[in-house]
Homo-oligomer: A and B are copies of this chain.
Amino acid sequence: GKRMRPVLTLIGGSLFDVPANESIHAALAIEFFHNFSLIHDDIMDAAPVRRGKPTVHQKWDANIAILSGDVLFTEAYKQLAHYRDERLADLLTRFNDTAIEVCQGQQLDMDFETASSVSEEAYIEMIRLKTSVLLGCALEFGAILGRADVPTRKLLYDFGVELGIAFQIQDDLLDLYADPEKFGKQVGGDVLANKKTLLLLTAQRQADQQQDDRVKALFVMDKSEAKVETARILFNELGATDFVKAAQQQHYDKALQSLEALPLPDAKKEPLRQLAAFLVNREY
């Protein structure tokens, strides 16, 4: 993994002069939770590979994946229990709320697989829950540890959530438009798997009857480079790619607005500005 989430907690803490050896436990809680959720999600999605290696349920079995996930989840709470002062209740409350939202996001994602139609708003809400709130939580942990006031905490949380949505949309875009040399995995994987992505949902909304037939024809094409290229042509023609990029930009802008509103010296914000730019411009 990129270990982006624990780094967010360390950076969040550094905004308020929390030393890394103090924020490390909160950072580990975030990373343990993230890996727990991947282990359980991979069972539910029957995913064979994660980070280029067999998933836990694939390498061992589903029972071991359920149980070791449960233990890893608990290990996250053990990291939080290192903070034995008045900050613990706030850390715990944010973490619990986030954990439940991540589970809700996973449930929505599974529901969408069999749903006859999914709106773009519902899709964004799904990625907000499944991915983005954890980035918000990771950053807010830094603010809680630094004893920032509630409005400041909220600005940092919102920055993380909006950035997370832009980050996840970048995943959708890269899947179809990445440079194969840089991407490191198969370009077009979502199209080949007929996955409902924001690009596809937007294309379907934009399509007239005849174009909609072409989208449906895409679903039954064999897995091939031709299928991926057909999707690219169709999505460009329907303006889906531009729409999705515009949506991404909106969330990125919102993130930066929250960042700018933070009552902190500009120099302190620079690492987050750079990280944000990296996460939505990345090519892999």
Interface residues of chain A, those whose CB is within 8 Å of chain B, are 40, 43-44, 62-63, 66-67, 70-71, 73-75, 77-78, 80-81, 83-84, 88-89, 92-93, 95-96, 99-100, 103, 106-107, 110
CA–CA, A44 to B93, complex, Å?
A: 30
CA–CA, A75 to B97, complex, Å?
A: 9
CA–CA, A71 to B100, complex, Å?
A: 6
CA–CA, A93 to B95, complex, Å?
A: 16
A110 to chain B: which residues have CB within 8 Å? Answer: 63
Number of copies: 2
Q: Contacting A40 at CB < 8 Å: which of B66, B74, B99? A: B66
CA–CA, A43 to B84, complex, Å?
A: 35
Q: If A84-B89, A88-B88, A89-B84 touch, does A96 touch B77 (CB 8 Å cutoff)?
A: yes
A93 to chain B: which residues have CB within 8 Å? Answer: 78, 81
CA–CA, A200 to B93, complex, Å?
A: 46
Say yes or no: B92 contacts A80, CB within 8 Å.
yes
CB proximity of A99 to chain B, nearest CB, Å? 4
CA–CA, A93 to B80, complex, Å?
A: 9
A73 to chain B: which residues have CB within 8 Å? Answer: 70, 73
Q: Contacting A66 at CB < 8 Å: which of B43, B78, B95? A: B43
Say yes or no: B88 contacts A103, CB within 8 Å.
no
CA–CA, A89 to B107, complex, Å?
A: 31
A-B contact pairs, 20 of them (CB 8 A): A40-B67, A43-B62, A43-B63, A43-B66, A44-B63, A62-B62, A67-B106, A71-B100, A71-B103, A74-B99, A74-B103, A77-B77, A77-B92, A77-B96, A78-B93, A80-B92, A81-B92, A81-B93, A83-B89, A88-B88
A66 to chain B: which residues have CB within 8 Å? Answer: 40, 43-44, 66
Q: If A40-B67, A67-B103 touch, does A74 touch B96 (CB 8 Å cutoff)?
A: yes
Q: Contacting A67 at CB < 8 Å: which of B74, B83, B107? A: B107
CB proximity of A102 to chain B, nearest CB, Å? 9
Which 3 interchain pairs have the tightest Cβ spacing? A84-B89, A44-B63, A74-B99
CA–CA, A194 to B107, complex, Å?
A: 38
Q: Which residue of B lies closest to A99 (CB)?
A: B74
A70 to chain B: which residues have CB within 8 Å? Answer: 40, 73, 99, 103
CA–CA, A92 to B63, complex, Å?
A: 26
Q: Which residue of B lies closest to A65 (CB)?
A: B66
Listed residue (A43, A62, A96) with the most chain B CB atoms within 10 angstroms of its CB: A96
A84 to chain B: which residues have CB within 8 Å? Answer: 89
A80 to chain B: which residues have CB within 8 Å? Answer: 92
